[in-house]
Structure 1
Amino acid sequence: MRELRIRPARAADAEAITELVHASSAYQGRYESILDGYAVTGAQVESTVTFLAEDGGGRVLGCYSLVPGGSNPGGAELDLLFVADEAQGGGLGARLVRHMLERAGELGLASVRVVSHPPAEGFYLRTGARRVGTVRPKPPKVPYARPELRWDLADRTGGVFV
């Protein structure tokens, strides 16, 4: 993989994160409606545990956002995990998951929940998440069911990741 660094996001990064999310080919066609009108805000970045992956030139290639609490008491919710289309297949997604789980552990969280984009379920399973349910459709914005997965941090072992 080319030169890469993972750093904490700042409020000023909100536009770059929004562009990364909207450029994702995974959210075209059938899945496009979930991003209608979606924009990451500076306040959102500041109120969550958000990190960016950048290349040597400072171009954003990936990100994740972890929201402590919410619908996962004692844990957190993975709100965003995106890798630029051109950076996929090189291990960046798995590296971001490892980073996210390390941060969650440092925060003393028991688990991380994700309501997955349906095509991403296999990726999350390969990183050690387990399927715990299904989130029902919420038409018109989300007209499809989504897998609910969880990483239990107390159960992690060194060989869990892809």
Structure 2
Amino acid sequence: MARDAKRLTRLVRGSRAYEGKYAAAVAGYRVGPDYIEAHRAFVAVGADEHGGRVLGFYSLVLAPPELDLLFVADEVQGRGIGRLLVAHMKSEARAAGLDRLKVVSHLPAEDFYHRVGAVRTGTAFANPPAVPWDRPEFEFRIFPE
């Protein structure tokens, strides 16, 4: 997985959701091997026409419980990759004994989180210069199967 660090960094930095006024938030961002080794990171890799290309990924922090990153490649958004990653994340959280999980969302992803069952719980206030805008906070409830 650590070998995917460069590909994950490219996915984060190249996301259209972080263009314009949001670009500064990911301009120097790096998903390094150390990050991948310290977090529960999972990658969706394409088959068929996508030939092993990274389609998306997420990272799960167990303490305190949080979905730290979730990105889907621009060209495959709307095809269910994000929904599959969230389902996998919930399964991993459940297996780890978690009953809820926090998400601090990027504004353009707010509708996505509503659609996949997250509940808005508050606002993470701006933290300039890195993040000069408020961000919605969500929570996923993790129910036993």
TM-score, structure 1 as length reference? 0.84
* Secondary structure in structure 1 of the residue aligned to 2:126: coil
Q: Match for 2:6 among 4, 12, 15? A: 15
Mapped partners of 2:7, 2:95: distance in 1: 27
Mapped partners of 1:140, 1:48: distance in 2: 25
**Quick one: which amino acid aligns to residue 98 of structure 2?**
L
**What does the per-residue CA deviation read over 1:46-81, in whole Å, with 9 as the maximum and x for residues that have no partner?**
1111111111221101000111113xxxxx111111
Mapped partners of 1:55, 1:35: distance in 2: 24
Structure 1 residue 29 corresponds to structure 2 residue 23: no
**Quick one: which amino acid aligns to residue 110 of structure 2?**
E
Structure 1 residue 49 corresponds to structure 2 residue 40: yes
Mapped partners of 1:148, 1:21: distance in 2: 20
Amino-acid identity (%): 49
Mapped partners of 1:55, 1:152: distance in 2: 29
> What is the aligned length?
142
**Quick one: which amino acid aligns to residue 35 of structure 1?**
V
Aligned residue number for residue 67 of structure 1: 61
Q: Match for 1:58 among 52, 68, 79? A: 52
Aligned residue number for residue 130 of structure 2: 141
Mapped partners of 1:49, 1:106: distance in 2: 12
* Secondary structure in structure 2 of the residue aligned to 1:147: strand
Contact 2:58 2:67 in 1 (8 A): yes
**Quick one: which amino acid aligns to residue 51 of structure 1?**
F
Aligned residue number for residue 109 of structure 2: 120
Contact 2:67 2:102 in 1 (8 A): yes
* Secondary structure in structure 1 of the residue aligned to 2:44: strand
**What does the per-residue CA deviation read over 1:86-125, in whole Å, with 9 as the maximum and x for residues that have no partner?**
0011111111111111111111112111100011111101
* Secondary structure in structure 2 of the residue aligned to 1:61: strand
Q: Match for 1:98 among 87, 92, 107? A: 87
Give the RMSD, CA atoms, in angstroms.
1.3
Structure 1: runs of 5 or more not aligned: 1-9, 71-75, 158-162
Mapped partners of 2:132, 2:4: distance in 1: 30
Mapped partners of 1:51, 1:69: distance in 2: 17
